[in-house]
Structure 1
Amino acid sequence: MKKIILVSFLILFAISGCDKTDSKTLEDTKNQSSLEKLVSGNKRFLEEKTIHPHQNKKSILDNQNAQHPFAVVVTCSDSRVSPEILFDQGIGDLFVIRNAGNLISDIDMGSIEYAVEHLDVKLIVILGHTECGAIKAYINDKDDNYKKHLTHIDDIIETIAEEKEELAAEKQTPKQDNILGCINANIEHSNRLIQENSIVKKHKTKIISMRYDVHTGKIIEL
């Protein structure tokens, strides 16, 4: 009986200690910039010290009438790339826009404009990743059949193939030998399109290019 009581006490003590640590970490992030929150969140994820902020019923209630995300994240639909998990964030923290290849269509740009104009978001992150299927499809397209528009996947390949940054990368190194360069070029292309947006310019919104490594979980700024 004494052993059971002792074990129960130790468990409660451990849980209580974790709660205090998580609360302190969450409090510390309040003084961080938007970019610092993302960087520190990925660091916690890598070190397996995630605090899973704003992932409870209270967060649902706090955000039920309005949202106040601190960053826009434009990223890929790839199932391995989940911004809230990789950055250790929660409900109401990130305004996420996803599609294959983290491309910027008119609709995606409209979503960005909404976040900047109406939600007052001051940071936009373009988050590409290694082993990107959209980029691999572009690289492995041997005979440029995408111009036939056989499927909507061909539309994705054509969009990437016509990016100025991809064409510049291809001149330096053949795309078949330069997958990481092609991934980076695609990220920078999306960055440039957003930089040129008049609403983003008006609000002086910061734009950052980042790349996630699916092999390690680490996110770096380009």
Structure 2
Amino acid sequence: MNLMKHFIDRRDFLKLGVTGAFGMMVTAADLLWQVEQAKAAGLPNGSLAIPQSLSADAALQKLIEGNQRFVQHKPQYPDQSAARLQEVAQAQHPFATILSCADSRVPAEILFDQGIGDIFDVRVAGNIATPETLGSIEYAVVLLGTPLVMVLGHERCGAVTAAVQNESLLGEIGSFVKAIKPAVKRVKDRPGDAVDNAVVANVQYQIERLKRSKLLTEQIEAGKLKIVGGRYDLDTGSVTMIT
């Protein structure tokens, strides 16, 4: 029997949708076992066996250097050629996954001076770890082999501001406010700018939520994944690491 019949084809995974695929009662141990078996079988590119070309530290350094080029107005625009487009058309190997805010001023590939196929983007207002964003990140880490995850908050975030001001918003717009309030509560009495304090606290809180994932935790414990936080400055374009 063809070994690949035992595994979820990545294209089928995308057709199902992240939430649907993870709803197939696949446990963390089962999924990781499948990945290891695929690697052992030497399956070709485009399968579950995606080799990590960079360590987490090297991936983070690549992001930092790219941001420095962006701030200094010396971008290299890597991996944006026609050749690169064809290279990643059938299989992707992103070296970093970034959970960032759904904000037009925070485009990850531009502010980190990266290109097509380099960053697995997960964007949602307030850069919050919802079941859907978590599933997307698990997919990038476990099935694509991304060694680095960054939760990226930003200066004057509207979602965080709404949570700090405890605003009542229409429709589903207020859903992210509820997800950010625990972070706001942690720093409500801290001196300084309330919104900026909450932006940093929210990044830290969402990282904590990501680390509750068994899939991600197993990768961290195996030394295959690092999760970090960052704060993007809208005025300068610089990203500051958050501990």
Q: Same fold (TM over 0.5)?
A: yes
Alpha-carbon displacement from aligned partner over 1:65-100 (angstroms, at most 9, x marks no partner)? 100000000000110000000000000100010011
**Which runs of structure 1 show a deviation greater than 6 angstroms over 4 or more consecutive aligned residues?**
none
Deviation at 1:156, TM superposition (A): 1.6
Q: What's 2:233 paired with?
A: 213
Deviation at 1:141, TM superposition (A): 2.7
Deviation at 1:62, TM superposition (A): 0.3
TM-score scaled by structure 1?
0.78
Q: What's 1:8 paired with?
A: none
Deviation at 1:118, TM superposition (A): 0.4
1:190 is the counterpart of 2:215: no
The correspondence for 2:109, drawn from 84, 93, 100, is 84
Please identify the structure whose Cα radius of gyration is greater. 1
The correspondence for 1:173, drawn from 173, 179, 190, is 190
Q: How many correspondences in the alignment?
A: 184
1:43 is the counterpart of 2:68: yes
Q: What's 1:97 paired with?
A: 122
Q: For the residues of structure 1 that align with 2:59 and 2:219, how far apart are their CA atoms?
A: 16
Deviation at 1:193, TM superposition (A): 0.8
Q: What's 2:173 paired with?
A: 153
Q: For the residues of structure 2 that align with 1:34 and 1:100, how far apart are their CA atoms?
A: 25
Deviation at 1:174, TM superposition (A): 8.0
Q: For the residues of structure 2 that align with 1:83 and 1:211, how far apart are their CA atoms?
A: 12
Q: What's 2:8 paired with?
A: none
CA 1:168/1:67 → structure 2, altered by over 3 Å: closer, same or farther?
Answer: same
Letter paired with 2:190: T
Letter paired with 2:237: G
Match of 1:208, SS state, is strand
Q: For the residues of structure 2 that align with 1:99 and 1:113, how far apart are their CA atoms?
A: 16
1:135 is the counterpart of 2:160: yes
Alignment of 1:23-62 (within 5 A): 33-62=58-87
- Partners of 2:163 and 2:184 within 8 A in 1: no
Match of 1:203, SS state, is helix
5+ residue gaps, structure 2, are 1-53
Deviation at 1:173, TM superposition (A): 3.2
The correspondence for 1:69, drawn from 94, 116, 120, is 94
Alpha-carbon displacement from aligned partner over 1:168-205 (angstroms, at most 9, x marks no partner)? 212x2389x51111111111111101122111111121
TM-score scaled by structure 2?
0.72
CA 1:104/1:200 → structure 2, altered by over 3 Å: closer, same or farther?
Answer: same
